[in-house]
DNA sequence: GGCCCCATGTAATGGGTTACATGATTGC
DNA sequence: GCAATCATGTAACCCATTACATGGGGCC
């Protein structure tokens, strides 16, 4: 039930399906992603339900675009979603289920597994740190005096940073535990 | 692709679909859940693919049970899944997408939203702390000298605790920011 | 008698991914 | 000429949720 509401959130200003996909990849991809094959039909349905209107645009370069914009009814629907409180679905952490069965492979492989996890999240962290650095240098209001929309975005960034840091610490502590045991065995 | 492998992991010792559902709810539910309607067909398929065998059990009380146990081929498949490295799918955090659009509702409602989040994760944390406390008091080997299987389980518990603590801190810092702004406006 | 727990399943629906199909423009 | 990017879509498939269906046993 989230995708239609996310789309409504994004089309406060007119946007095409392609534009929306860009936004997913550049901004939201740490906690959400959707493919074009899912976005196009979902936008069509919003229009059919009277939650969005279409406006054609013929840019100087490139093919024609369908720009979707939310209607007042769409805005009401978006607010209702937010006002009904946080949607707390059980997350599916594939890699954690793997950790749960990690005793099924030899100790050296377990270390490899955690090293790989560690690398991945280190990379994610450095990306987020970069995002924050740029934002800070480009907007003097960062972090305490941002306008509401930016503040909401910043909240998501703050959680991303905190969670990834926690995961990295966890990787390191697990690696330490695994290495201690591995050496004792030799 | 994870569910079949998770089931293989769980049926090292013979288990019924119903038993597995219990395990999900009691142990794995912080990072995975599956319904019986998904488990039964998935187990059937494992048997058809030669990854598990069925053995009937007629307990003294209650109806007959189908006990599934993994075959050597099943074990190989499980190990292959673990050895191919961590499966890092983009998580879908519904509540974070809501935070991203939180400026669409009035400040008082935003505070309500975060308060509700805060409560939920406080509850989750106290459950996990309880789990850890019981484990510590019932096994003198906790936390450093656990056998491999328990160590793997403990790794997942450690991440759960660390992540939930990070989320709670984040909730509190966002609430602080929101309250400051809210008061200035009055 | 009614409710909850044990135990197994199917059917319908919804959400998400991958593959396929089309066509214009930009840059090398 | 070829690859990449812009732009829109459909079809097939897989995964997950909800609803439906059945039946025995224990407890109040």
Q: What share of chain B is helix, strand, coil (3-state, %, to 5)?
A: 70, 5, 25
Write the CATH number for B14: 1.10.10.10
Domain co-membership, A168 together with A111: yes
Percent of chain B clearing pLDDT 90 (strictly above): 91
Mean pLDDT over all residues of chain A?
95
Measured CA to CA, the distance from residue A32 to residue A37 in angstroms comes to 15
Beta A52-57 vs A65-70: how paired, if at all?
A: antiparallel
Residue B167, domain extent: 94-185
Whether A88 is in a domain gets the answer: no
Give the end of a domain, one of B83, B108, B135: B83
Q: Do A100 and B170 touch (CB under 8 A)?
A: no
SS3 A13: coil
pLDDT for B186 equals: 60
Number of domains in chain A: 2
Domain co-membership, B129 together with B71: no
SS3 A63: coil
Q: Which nucleotides of D are covered by protein (CB under 7 A)?
A: 6-12, 14-20, 23-26
Identify the CA nearest to B74 among candidates B14, B20, B132, B23. Answer: B14
Residues B71-108: tens digit of each pLDDT: 999 999 999 999 999 999 989 999 999 999 999 999 99
With beta carbons less than 8 A apart as the criterion, state whether B100 and A23 touch.
no
Whether B88 is in a domain gets the answer: no
Whether B170 is in a domain gets the answer: yes
| Chain A hits for B102, Cβ within 8 Å | 82, 152, 155
Q: Do B104 and A177 touch (CB under 8 A)?
A: no
Give the end of a domain, one of B83, B113, B128: B83
Domain co-membership, B54 together with B15: yes
Give the end of a domain, one of A50, A83, A116: A83
- Residue A64 pLDDT class (50, 70, 90 cuts): confident
Q: Is A41 near chain B, with CB under 8 Å?
A: no
pLDDT at position B59 over 90: no
SS3 B18: helix
Least confident window among A67-71, A89-93, A130-134, B178-182: B178-182
Whether B89 is in a domain gets the answer: no
Q: Is B103 near chain A, with CB under 8 Å?
A: yes
Domain co-membership, A54 together with A98: no
Burial B130-140 (b: 16+ CB within 10 A, else e): ebbeebeeeee
Please state, as a whole number, how many other Cβ atoms lie within 10 Å of the Cβ of residue A125: 17
Protein residue ranges contacting nucleic strand D, Cβ under 7 Å = A 16-19, 36-37, 40-41, 43-44, 59, 62-66, 89-90, 92; B 1-3, 33-35, 37-38, 61-63
Domain co-membership, B42 together with B108: no
């Amino acid at each position: 039930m989230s995708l239609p509401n996310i789309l409504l959130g994004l089309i406060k200003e007119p946007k095409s399906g392609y534009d929306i996909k860009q936004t997913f990849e550049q901004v939201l991809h740490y906690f959400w992603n959707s493919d074009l094959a899912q976005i196009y039909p979902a936008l069509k349905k919003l229009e059919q339900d009277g939650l969005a209107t279409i406006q054609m645009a013929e840019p100087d370069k490139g093919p024609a675009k369908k720009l979707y914009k939310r209607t007042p009814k769409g805005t009401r629907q978006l607010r209702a979603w937010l006002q009904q409180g946080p949607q707390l679905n059980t997350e599916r952490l594939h890699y954690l289920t793997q950790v749960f069965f990690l005793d099924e492979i030899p100790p050296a492989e377990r270390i490899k597994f955690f090293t790989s996890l560690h690398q991945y999240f280190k990379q994610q962290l450095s990306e987020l740190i970069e995002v924050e650095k740029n934002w800070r240098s480009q907007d003097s209001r960062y972090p305490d005096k941002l306008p509401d929309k930016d503040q909401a975005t910043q909240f998501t960034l703050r959680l991303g940073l905190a969670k990834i840091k926690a995961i990295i610490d966890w990787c390191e502590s697990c690696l330490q535990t695994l290495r201690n045991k591995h050496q004792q065995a030799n």
